[in-house]
């Protein structure tokens, strides 16, 4: 099914209407459950050119965009920032304009600053699309989509009776912001958040959420526990106490998880700080869906690339 208005760029889930969000999830679900449709994707996109432009570190997102682009038959340029003229001070906008001049059609971009994506979108020619692969603390729309797909595969399409808890460093997390946008759009029954006061944003991010400071209370009876990485690289000194204290108060171990619904699933976007926000026994345990999230990431990115390349 097509999305109206067509998905020229995917910069955020914030203003993506529910039918568009659900179309992307339905498409990704079909792709994830069988390779049959992939041949028609290849027919449509063979030889199209996709660029991975990552100015921040990445393991899962970058690799899965590359695999997704290859599976739909596109040619992928993994732009090597460290060996590029960015090191000589060339701006991101100039880098983008040059690659656009070479005929690159779809840009997957990860940056530390949050307004850059819009600047690039404003400078994009007709026929050129952008997908945000993470901009600072603001958005990570494909992670939000793959998280929703994973929840849906376990809990069904109707989120209205679900209790979903996000735990940890929400302040620095673009994943949390995109998850919250999508959870609201999908009509989630109850959204809870829990973390140390210093790591909870004071703006509209948490509107409509039930905010807890004690994890033992927050986790009571929930269906989905979404753990977040403690983002020490984005943190000022002294924002939290010791890692041991953090683990004691906000870490997810097996005993704490038993307070959630017995069928609760546990997500984490990776990379995990094992022994800090999540214990090994939970990360590798039966309720963890963390590697399923990773697998879904490829399907979600294939669906997103399909839609954006179909506009361009
Ligand atoms: C996240 C990111 O980079 O935003 N990782 C990811 O894309 N899976 C989350 C994080 O860094 O904590």
Is the minimum distance from the CB of 134 to ligand 1 under 6 angstroms? yes
60 CB within 6 A, ligand 1? yes
Cα 133 to ligand 1 centroid, rounded to whole Å: 9
In 37-51, which positions are buried (b, 16+ CB within 10 angstroms) versus exposed (e)? eeeebeeebeebbbb
Residue 37 confidence (pLDDT): 58
| Lowest-confidence segment of 71-80, 82-91, 193-202 by average pLDDT | 82-91
Q: Which of ligand 1's atoms lies nearest the C-alpha of 231?
A: 12
**Is 238 a residue whose pLDDT tops 90?**
no
CATH architecture of residue range(s) 141-289: 3-Layer(aba) Sandwich (3.40)
Query: Ligand 1, from 13, 134, 294, 298: best to mutate by most atoms within 8 Å of Cβ?
Result: 134
Cα-atom radius of gyration of the chain, to the nearest Å? Answer: 19
Q: For residue 39, is pLDDT > 90?
A: no
Whether the CB of 61 sits within 6 Å of ligand 1:
yes
Q: Is the CB of 251 under 6 A from ligand 1?
A: no
Report how far apart, in Å, the C-alpha atoms of 223 and of each of 10, 19, 89, 188 are: 29, 24, 48, 11
Q: Are 127 and 149 in contact (CB under 8 A)?
A: no
Q: Is the pLDDT of residue 297 over 80?
A: yes
**What pLDDT does 287 receive?**
98
For 137-163, the pLDDT digits (tens) are: 999 999 999 999 999 999 999 999 999
The answer to whether the CB of 29 falls within 8 A of the CB of 153 is yes
Q: How confident is the model at residue 149, as a pLDDT?
A: 98
Tokens of 81: 């920032």
254-280 tens-digit pLDDT? 999 999 999 999 999 999 999 999 999
First-to-last CA distance in the chain? 17
Compute, in angstroms, the gap from residue 79 CA to the centroid of ligand 1.
19
Rounded to the nearest angstrom, the distance between the alpha carbon of 271 and the centre of ligand 1 is: 7
Q: What percent of the chain has pLDDT over 70?
A: 99
Answer whether residue 36 shows pLDDT above 70: no
* Residue 268 in contact with ligand 1 by CB distance below 6 A: no
Angle, alpha carbons 106-112-204 (nearest 5°)? 100
pTM for this structure?
0.97
Residue 275 CA, ligand 1 centroid: distance in Å: 18
pLDDT of amino acid 236:
74
- Ranges for all domains in the chain classified under CATH 3.40.50.1370: 9-140+294-311, 141-289
Whether residue 312 has pLDDT greater than 70: no
Indicate if the pLDDT at residue 38 is higher than 90: no
- What is the spatial distance between Cα 184 and Cα 133, in angstroms, rounded to a whole number? 21
| Cα atoms in the 13 Å half-sphere on the side-chain side of 213 | 4
pLDDT digits (tens, 9 = 90+) for 10-20: 999 999 999 99
Q: What is the pLDDT of residue 232?
A: 84
What share of the chain in percent tops pLDDT 90?
Answer: 89
In 103-253, where does DSSP find H-type helix?
116-122, 141-155, 174-185, 215-218, 243-250
Structure tokens of 178?
A: 């995109």
Binding site membership of 155 for ligand 1 (Cβ less than 6 Å): no
What is the residue with the minimal CA distance to atom 12 of ligand 1? 229
140 lines ligand 1 (CB under 6 A): yes
CA-nearest residue, atom 8 of ligand 1: 269
List, edge to edge, every strand of the sheet that includes 163-167.
210-212, 190-194, 163-167, 224-227, 265-267
Identify the burial level of 69 via C-beta atoms within 10 angstroms of its C-beta, where 0-12 means exposed, 13-18 middle and 19 or more buried: buried
The CB of 141 under 6 Å from ligand 1? The reply is no
Q: What is the pLDDT of residue 41?
A: 93
Q: 174: CA distance to ligand 1 center in Å?
A: 8
- Strand-pairing partners, residue 194, are 167, 212
Q: Is 231 in the pocket of ligand 1 (CB under 6 A)?
A: yes
Predicted confidence (pLDDT) at residue 104 exceeds the cutoff of 70: yes
Residue-wise over 97-129: b if at least 16 C-beta within 10 A, else e? eebbeeebbbbbbbbeeeebbeebbeebeeebb
Our answer on whether the CB atom of 170 is closer than 6 Å to any ligand 1 atom is: no
Q: What are phi and psi of 68, to 5 degrees?
A: -60, -45
The residue among 106 and 4 whose pLDDT is bigger is 106
For residue 60, pLDDT over 70 is answered with: yes
Counting ligand 1 atoms within 8 A of each CB, the residue from 199, 271, 291 with the most, and so the one to mutate, is: 271
Angle at 269 between CA 266 and CA 274, to 5 degrees: 75
- Overall CATH class of domain 9-140+294-311: alpha beta
């Amino acid at each position: 099914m097509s999305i109206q208005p067509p998905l020229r760029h995917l910069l955020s889930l914030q203003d993506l209407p529910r039918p568009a969000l659900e179309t992307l999830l339905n498409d990704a679900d079909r792709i994830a459950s069988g390779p049959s449709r992939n041949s028609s994707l290849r027919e449509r996109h063979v030889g199209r050119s996709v660029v991975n432009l990552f100015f921040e570190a990445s393991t899962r997102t970058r690799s899965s965009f590359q695999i997704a682009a290859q599976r739909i038959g596109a040619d992928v340029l993994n732009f090597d920032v460290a060996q590029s003229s960015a090191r000589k001070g060339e701006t991101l906008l100039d880098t983008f304009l040059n690659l656009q001049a070479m005929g690159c059609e779809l840009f997957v971009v990860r940056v530390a600053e949050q307004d850059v994506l819009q600047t690039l979108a404003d400078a994009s020619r007709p026929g050129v699309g952008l997908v945000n692969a993470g901009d600072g603390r603001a958005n990570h729309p494909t992670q939000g989509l793959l998280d929703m797909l994973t929840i849906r595969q376990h809990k069904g399409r109707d989120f209205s009776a679900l209790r979903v808890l996000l735990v940890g460093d929400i302040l620095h997390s673009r994943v949390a912001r995109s998850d919250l946008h999508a959870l609201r759009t999908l009509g989630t029954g109850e959204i809870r958040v829990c973390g140390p006061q210093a790591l909870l944003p004071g703006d509209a991010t948490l509107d409509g959420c039930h905010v807890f400071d004690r994890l033992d209370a927050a986790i009571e009876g929930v269906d989905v526990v979404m753990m977040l990485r403690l983002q020490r690289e984005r943190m000022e000194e002294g924002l939290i106490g010791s890692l041991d204290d953090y683990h004691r108060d906000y870490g997810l171990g097996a005993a704490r998880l038993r307070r959630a619904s017995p069928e609760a699933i546990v997500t984490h976007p990776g990379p995990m700080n094992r022994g800090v926000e999540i214990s090994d026994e939970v990360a590798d345990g039966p309720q963890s869906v963390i590697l399923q999230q990773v697998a879904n990431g490829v399907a979600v990115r294939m669906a997103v690339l399909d839609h954006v390349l179909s506009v361009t």
